[in-house]
Chain A
């Protein structure tokens, strides 16, 4: 395995046990660590400490297509996993994005980084987020203890579900060393319905109608005046679903994109190609889908551009709006690309929730050495 060129002292333990020893040492001396998987994320220059890379803790442990289960070490490149699953006609259904373009990184995304960020793409709306596909994990906590939670089976309610906590904790509760994920068959047929020249309000109406059908629309995104619906299926399913949706939305003219174009279109929407290559701040905003139109208009008024995913539930805002004003418009806003903006990346929580968060951090990382400050508000 290759390790990234570290910006500071670069640490790259070769095993879980070695990682445990290293963190135990740091715990004792209270020296912070910046955890990195492939390092494709937003710059975390403000974080202090040496860089800890999981790149050397790599490799698929088991993959059982017949039980839809994959177990991989945290540093395994996402590409490697995706290729392995694709060879069996399966995938990670939550569709993690490749954010190298927007985040300006040049590393290789790791499965540990995906889980740590709960990274989930367009299909999240239908199948759930990364956290819904996580079956179990192994990790090293802030004292250097090697711990596990969950397992490798789909149904498991044995004890507290710490996987949910660690997924999306961005490394602040522990360093993941191994994750077990559910895989799903790739539906062989797909197409996209494109509705051009629509406003965000019209897009929201299209989404609401399409998503109230049983046709399992697996993508509902809007950008630059076009609303896109992705339809997938097995055998005659896809054609049936497409025709029913077209009939339902017949008042509008729709362009139908074939399977191949569908693949590249949704890859681009997923990876936010349209916001790549600039350094303007990029915000990830979660709203109740029916609030998407008003939120989009308010954000656009700050200047910049907006795209919408998850049938209105997710808004990406790429623009110069000051943090305070963005947060005023959208309570659930995360700053994914700083673009020079200072201040916290994560949205403020209710005081009681903050108290619990801090309590949990103290439990998992008593010396405050894991990505300190990263998730602070």
Chain B
């Protein structure tokens, strides 16, 4: 991160006083004991306590805080639950965190028009919880859904296990209330199936807190399916597993999820959760939805496709317990990997047809860097999550793991994919952006940020490579 602005840090007391003037007392924190809780997100290798933390309860309070920060030219890091894996919510010593965690009201549930309107501090899981009695659900379901907030989901355009069928956040976001950097509050989109005019809500989604602070959201909701059932398919090679994914997709069956686990992951999971998975090179978990006859028909089609590829095992679930057993290993994968040591979790995407090649190359890179890697990911859309294992107590190991990770992400771009499928750029992938985008491609993105945030106060040192954003930030500092 760039050097924090000493002038701002010096003015901390005045800044805090100005915030206290417009906000309730308990909404402004600057005691170092308390601000430490906000020193990092889920990318824990990087930490820095902020100058202060603001915890507003309403859009008006967010706007008031933003106005103060704008007037005093203090950088702002918006924050939800802090589960970002990319350092998106990482503070700097000269920033004020504006957290939307306390904006937790459900404002409207409208099943006739199929939307829910919430304040963005609600957690992802609680949205679906609210909808359950109505027979509806909210589709994007990141594995962090118990903790992460709708604000963070919108900022990162988060995905989930079911996005193969239902899409990611941007496909399920209908409207948003946004506080702009000067404190003005605007509404974008709404319950209509827009957009009208330029699709600014589409731009906002996935903008990683670069454009404004989102305080309310209108989300598309769907009727709950009648049922869902997974099957497990084991293969003795990555290549053939990849082929199976492509054939399923081509066949017209559209599963809600196709998850992939490789041998390293399978062994770890077996040791940890005893899920009873086969000992083979690759396992696919394919989940389909519908009524019983619909599910049975789809599974029959998948069985036919898989059989032609000589699977080691094709395991169906006949009841809820068996279904749970199939998911058990996948759901405990990250915990199981944690048992093996420290790991970093990557998030590149490759075209589905390049999955076997990418897996082979990751294996070669693993040998070259001398670090083990496990692969567990959303295969249907090519969103890979290689987990690189390292030892945080061993000097230099984190740096080696990061170098290995960067090589994998470059590989993703080289085969036609991208640096991040759902976790975002943040600080983690910031300096790799030049691999995917030419300078002019980045320049226009920064120019767009500049329209929304002419003073470059929101997450100023993230997403864009520092050398590329430097002229913009310098120019902004003069405004």
A residues in contact (CB < 8 Å) with B: 64-69, 88-89, 118, 124-125, 128-129, 131-132, 141, 145-149, 151-165, 167-169, 173, 184-188, 208, 211-214, 233-237, 240, 286-290, 310, 313-314, 332, 334, 346-347, 349-350, 352-353, 356-357, 359-360, 362-364, 375
The reply to whether A185 and B252 form a contact with Cβ atoms under 8 Å apart is yes
Question: Given known contacts A67-B382, A160-B210, A353-B188, is B198 in contact with A128 (CB within 8 Å)?
Answer: no
The reply to whether A237 and B422 form a contact with Cβ atoms under 8 Å apart is no
Contact with A along B383-418 (1 / 0, CB 8 A): 100000000000000000000000000000000111
Expressed in whole angstroms, the minimum distance between the Cβ of A336 and any Cβ of chain B is 13
Instruction: Please tell me if B197 contacts chain A, counting CB pairs below 8 Å.
Output: yes
Question: Given known contacts A151-B416, A153-B381, is B198 in contact with A169 (CB within 8 Å)?
Answer: yes
Expressed in whole angstroms, the minimum distance between the Cβ of A106 and any Cβ of chain B is 29
| Bound: A349/B114 CA distance, A | 24
| Bound: A334/B196 CA distance, A | 8
The reply to whether B206 and A165 form a contact with Cβ atoms under 8 Å apart is no
The reply to whether B199 and A167 form a contact with Cβ atoms under 8 Å apart is yes
The reply to whether A360 and B195 form a contact with Cβ atoms under 8 Å apart is no
The reply to whether B417 and A153 form a contact with Cβ atoms under 8 Å apart is yes
User: Which stretch (B6-14, B165-173, B277-285) binds chain A?
Assistant: B165-173
| Bound: A298/B352 CA distance, A | 50
Question: Given known contacts A214-B226, A235-B297, A240-B291, is B205 in contact with A332 (CB within 8 Å)?
Answer: no
- Chain B residues lying within 8 Å of A66, measured Cβ to Cβ, are 246-247, 249-250, 352-353
The reply to whether B418 and A151 form a contact with Cβ atoms under 8 Å apart is yes
Expressed in whole angstroms, the minimum distance between the Cβ of B306 and any Cβ of chain A is 15
User: In the complex, which of the residues A141, A146, A212, A313 contacts B193, with contact meaning CB atoms closer than 8 Å?
Assistant: A313
User: Which stretch (B72-80, B144-152, B307-315, B448-456) binds chain A?
Assistant: B448-456
User: In the complex, which of the residues A161, A169, A213, A288 contacts B223, with contact meaning CB atoms closer than 8 Å?
Assistant: A213
Cβ < 8 Å to A, chain B residues 96-148: 110-114, 135-136
* Residue count of chain B within 8 Å CB distance of chain A: 96
- Chain B residues lying within 8 Å of A353, measured Cβ to Cβ, are 186, 188, 197, 200
Instruction: Please tell me if B50 contacts chain A, counting CB pairs below 8 Å.
Output: no
Expressed in whole angstroms, the minimum distance between the Cβ of A249 and any Cβ of chain B is 15
| Listed A/B pairs (17) with beta-carbon separation below 8 Å | A146-B440, A147-B441, A148-B437, A149-B441, A153-B383, A154-B349, A158-B420, A159-B425, A186-B252, A234-B253, A240-B294, A332-B192, A347-B196, A356-B200, A360-B198, A363-B444, A363-B447
Interface centre among B156, B197, B249 (most CB of A within 10 A): B197
User: Which residue on chain B has the smallest CB distance to residue A186?
Assistant: B252
Interface centre among B110, B114, B224 (most CB of A within 10 A): B114
User: In the complex, which of the residues A146, A184, A349, A359 contacts B197, with contact meaning CB atoms closer than 8 Å?
Assistant: A349
User: In the complex, which of the residues B196, B224, B420 contacts A157, with contact meaning CB atoms closer than 8 Å?
Assistant: B420
B residues in contact (CB < 8 Å) with A: 110-114, 135-136, 156-157, 159, 163-164, 167-168, 170-171, 180, 184, 186-188, 190-203, 205-207, 210, 222-226, 246-247, 249-254, 290-291, 293-294, 297-298, 301, 349-353, 378, 381-383, 416-425, 429, 433, 436-438, 440-442, 444-445, 447-452, 463-464
The reply to whether B167 and A128 form a contact with Cβ atoms under 8 Å apart is yes
- Chain A residues lying within 8 Å of B170, measured Cβ to Cβ, are 132, 161, 164
The reply to whether B418 and A162 form a contact with Cβ atoms under 8 Å apart is no
The reply to whether A350 and B423 form a contact with Cβ atoms under 8 Å apart is no
User: Which residue on chain A has the smallest CB distance to residue B135?
Assistant: A212
- Chain B residues lying within 8 Å of A362, measured Cβ to Cβ, are 451
The reply to whether A155 and B448 form a contact with Cβ atoms under 8 Å apart is no
The reply to whether B445 and A160 form a contact with Cβ atoms under 8 Å apart is yes
User: In the complex, which of the residues A156, A346, A352, A360 contacts B418, with contact meaning CB atoms closer than 8 Å?
Assistant: A156
* 14 further A-B pairs in the complex, CB-CB below 8 A; given A155-B421, A157-B423, A158-B429: A67-B352, A153-B381, A156-B349, A157-B422, A158-B418, A160-B463, A164-B199, A164-B203, A167-B202, A212-B136, A214-B225, A352-B180, A356-B451, A360-B448
User: In the complex, which of the residues A151, A155, A163, A287 contacts B383, with contact meaning CB atoms closer than 8 Å?
Assistant: A155
- Chain B residues lying within 8 Å of A233, measured Cβ to Cβ, are 294
- Chain A residues lying within 8 Å of B168, measured Cβ to Cβ, are 155
The reply to whether B196 and A286 form a contact with Cβ atoms under 8 Å apart is yes
- Chain B residues lying within 8 Å of A375, measured Cβ to Cβ, are 197-198
Expressed in whole angstroms, the minimum distance between the Cβ of B452 and any Cβ of chain A is 7
Expressed in whole angstroms, the minimum distance between the Cβ of A67 and any Cβ of chain B is 4
User: Which residue on chain B has the smallest CB distance to residue A124?
Assistant: B193
Expressed in whole angstroms, the minimum distance between the Cβ of A178 and any Cβ of chain B is 14
| Bound: A351/B356 CA distance, A | 51
- Chain B residues lying within 8 Å of A213, measured Cβ to Cβ, are 223
| Bound: A358/B193 CA distance, A | 23
The reply to whether B198 and A168 form a contact with Cβ atoms under 8 Å apart is yes
User: Which residue on chain B has the smallest CB distance to residue A211?
Assistant: B114
The reply to whether B192 and A67 form a contact with Cβ atoms under 8 Å apart is no
| Bound: A11/B79 CA distance, A | 49
User: Which residue on chain A has the smallest CB distance to residue B417?
Assistant: A153
User: Which residue on chain A has the smallest CB distance to residue B349?
Assistant: A153
| Bound: A263/B350 CA distance, A | 35
| Bound: A167/B225 CA distance, A | 31
- Chain A residues lying within 8 Å of B224, measured Cβ to Cβ, are 214
The reply to whether B198 and A161 form a contact with Cβ atoms under 8 Å apart is no
Question: Given known contacts A124-B193, A165-B202, is B111 in contact with A157 (CB within 8 Å)?
Answer: no
Question: Given known contacts A131-B199, A213-B223, A288-B113, is B188 in contact with A155 (CB within 8 Å)?
Answer: no
The reply to whether B254 and A185 form a contact with Cβ atoms under 8 Å apart is yes
User: Which residue on chain B has the smallest CB distance to residue A357?
Assistant: B198
- Chain A residues lying within 8 Å of B293, measured Cβ to Cβ, are 236, 240
- Chain B residues lying within 8 Å of A68, measured Cβ to Cβ, are 249
User: In the complex, which of the residues B167, B226, B417 contacts A132, with contact meaning CB atoms closer than 8 Å?
Assistant: B167
- Chain B residues lying within 8 Å of A155, measured Cβ to Cβ, are 159, 163, 168, 349, 378, 381-383, 421-422
